[in-house]
Amino acid sequence: MRRARPGVRWLWLMALALPLAWAGSARADTKDQLDLPPLPAVFKKLAPASLGELKDIQTRLQVVAKKVMPAVVNVKVGAGQGSGVIISEDGYILTAGHVSGAPNQKVQVTLADGRQVKGVTLGANRLVDSGLIKITDKGKWPMAPQGDSATVDKGAWVTAIGHPNGYQAGRDPVVRLGRVLENLTVVLRTDCILVGGDSGGPLFDMDGKVIGIHSRIMFFTHQNFHVPVNRFKDDWARLIKGELVTPAYLGVVRDAAAKDCKIESVTKDAAADKAGLKANDVITKVGEHKIGSFEDLKRILDDLHSGDKVMMEVQRGEAALNIEVTLGVRPEFKSGNPIIAPPPAPWSAVQNLIKDQPDIVKLSQPLVTKANRSTVEVLCQGKVVALGTVVKTDGLILTLASELEGTPKVKLPDGRELEAKVIGREEHYNLALLKVEAKDLIPEQWKPSKEVPVGSWVFSVGTTPTPAAVGVIGVAMRKPAYGSIPPEDKGYLGINLDLGASVKGVKIMDVTKGSGADKAGVKGGDVIVGLAGKEIPNDSTLQDVLKGYKKGQTIDVKVKRGEKELDVKVTLGPRPLSNGDKQNQMGSKLSKKKTGFPVILTHDSVLKPEECGGPLVDLEGKAVGINVSRAGRTETYAIPTEAVLPLLDEMIAGKHAPKSPATPAGAEKTSTSPK
């Protein structure tokens, strides 16, 4: 079945265009600021100069994330979903225009605590990708204050929060840290990594104020774009009225040889053509503004919107004419997508601004160097396939189970290369225990991950004095809501749901061609009222029932088509690669195993798959987990200390002994299911 993640609206891979002018003063009541102490001095510097200043950044992020988290929401509009942020107690939500879409659509809003409330889409700006939603249920809602995006400096520290890859039950909104690489007035560029599902989520400054809304990305992980919050303020009066704001379009071509505002040609069926403007006309006045050149005309039109009526004074030969023009929409904006992209920022212009800039890497070296002594390279068939973490002095090393093939070897920090024996293997955690003939290894020092809250700095240790990657904890230790079947094995029904339909059951918007539902004769407009013999009152129940079935299994589906009820049997297929899946792979290679972990610790470090298997350390240099998967564009997973150490004890006791030490990677294996 396709509902959540395949329905996630993409972050547009295009950028914003020109700023629009102030459109009115009607604003929702919002608080101006959070109750926070003054910013530490480090936020006024280009880079932190000590571990103490790194800690100041960490402490501030932890406080800000905790305070603003309740205002971050997931929004579902039709078959798509994105993120948003509540900016008033009466429930106004800022989001991306490509998430909210057309006005007056029903919205399902999921709050940070999991509660679901109803809402409606209001206005949107087609050019800058801003959108507005209003919660319609009664209540006093958690909210975040708005900042002033015009005052955001290059290099400012910021945090992006949202629901990457769509809402996941039991997962808090995900925190990422970054810096402003450019403030172009019409768009903010940061290295806060975004992906589909983040669209519409908030970008906060370190005072906890909303300064931008996530909009789109480019290929590289440090190229992420946000709608400046001031663009919402500019259009506020129109947005709350439910208007689609688009830039004004007259539809004339200038006479390049003329010094005045002479028209060379008029675009057929455009606003100028409909109003009666002609070639060789000279525009001399728009409203109360005198026009002496085409640049004057453009400047005035930049402050207007499609649908605005303006009076123009025009000189046609000897005659002076007054012509009323209703401004139109540029043809390329009718799709509703932002279309004008700023050029990619060269690496040389941003490398000293990103969160893992050289100064921060240098500060972390003492922490990483200490952990290097407990980090090894794991080789299979002569190639480094993963890192390993030393856990016992007498040659015990934890590494990635998914990468082992044949007889592995281990390269120790002192350069020795030893053959290793696999003595424990737990596929769910993607961890294997190796034994080498050595008695002088230095085991890693551990710390419970619960002592390192969301927003804490973490450093992925490799085999060099510098960290393999730098990031922050984005989500605390949690048990992902996979159910009993790994995501890659779950059955796919092949439908898109109409979540806004007022029906008893679940209405199907459309059916994926060639899917199990399609082959069984299910059609768009059908309403699912039963599944596997159970009544289906809503989409949540549908999901709960379906998650217990694997691809290839057949399931009984009861649908209502008009006044008739039909019973059909659907053979579930594998979930196809979605647009969201493709986007999730942008900017970095992903690990073989990305899902199915019993417990994970999520951080935003950009790590190569072969750099997993080593320890993840905090500002004290102690390991809070072992990296096991580069799981997506925005996330790397670590198995936290709280799970690593009990699992290690079980492996040493022989509970997870492999059938064969040379079991090929990807082959079917047997292992004890995790408790």
Q: For 31-72, what is each residue's pLDDT tens digit?
A: 667 788 899 999 999 899 999 999 999 999 999 999 999 999
CATH class of 252-328: mainly beta
More reliable by pLDDT, 249 or 453: 453
CB-based contacts of 226, cutoff 8 Å, min separation 6: 160, 187, 188, 189, 190, 203, 211, 212, 213, 214, 215
Quick one: pLDDT band at residue 324, thresholds 50, 70, 90? very high
d(CA 673, CA 428): 8
So what's the pLDDT on residue 661? 44
So what's the pLDDT on residue 108? 94
pLDDT at residue 336 tops 60 = no
Quick one: pLDDT band at residue 87, thresholds 50, 70, 90? very high
pLDDT at residue 21 tops 60 = no
Pairing of strands 116-125, 244-245: parallel
Asked which of 16-25, 514-523, 582-591 is least confident by mean pLDDT, the reply is 16-25
Quick one: pLDDT band at residue 659, thresholds 50, 70, 90? confident
CB-based contacts of 488, cutoff 8 Å, min separation 6: 575, 595, 596
Tokens of 546: 């379906």
CB-based contacts of 146, cutoff 8 Å, min separation 6: 30, 87, 209, 210, 211, 229, 232, 233
pLDDT at residue 337 tops 80 = no
d(CA 182, CA 329): 29
Mean pLDDT, residues 397-425 taken together: 95
So what's the pLDDT on residue 487? 64
Q: What is the pTM of this model?
A: 0.79
Asked which of 368-372, 542-546, 578-582, 624-628 is least confident by mean pLDDT, the reply is 578-582
Burial zone of 295 (CB within 10 Å; 0-12 exposed, 13-18 middle, 19+ buried)? exposed
* Cα angle value 585/586/591 (rounded, 5°): 35
Q: What is the DSSP letter of 518?
A: H
Architecture of domain 358-480+584-652: Beta Barrel (2.40)
pLDDT at residue 22 tops 50 = no
Q: Identify the three-state secondary structure at position 347.
A: helix
Asked which of 72-81, 491-500, 507-516 is least confident by mean pLDDT, the reply is 491-500
So what's the pLDDT on residue 13? 43
So what's the pLDDT on residue 342? 64
Q: Which sequence spans correspond to the domains of the chain?
A: 41-245, 252-328, 358-480+584-652, 491-571
- Mean pLDDT over the full length of the chain: 87
So what's the pLDDT on residue 484? 55
Tens-digit pLDDT profile for residues 280-298? 999 999 999 999 999 999 8
Quick one: pLDDT band at residue 613, thresholds 50, 70, 90? very high
d(CA 420, CA 661): 9
Q: Is domain 491-571 annotated with CATH 2.30.42.10?
A: yes
Q: Identify the three-state secondary structure at position 387.
A: strand
Q: Does 41-245 match 358-480+584-652 in CATH topology? A: yes
So what's the pLDDT on residue 369? 92
Q: Percent of the chain, pLDDT > 90?
A: 66
What CATH number was assigned to the domain covering residues 41-245?
A: 2.40.10.120
Quick one: pLDDT band at residue 482, thresholds 50, 70, 90? low
- Selection from 73, 166, 77 nearest residue 509 by Cα: 77
pLDDT at residue 1 tops 60 = no
pLDDT at residue 16 tops 70 = no
Mean pLDDT, residues 91-103 taken together: 94
More reliable by pLDDT, 223 or 417: 417
d(CA 264, CA 255): 5
Quick one: pLDDT band at residue 5, thresholds 50, 70, 90? very low
Torsion angle of the four alpha carbons 283, 289, 293, 299, in this order, in degrees rounded to the nearest 10: -110
More reliable by pLDDT, 14 or 305: 305
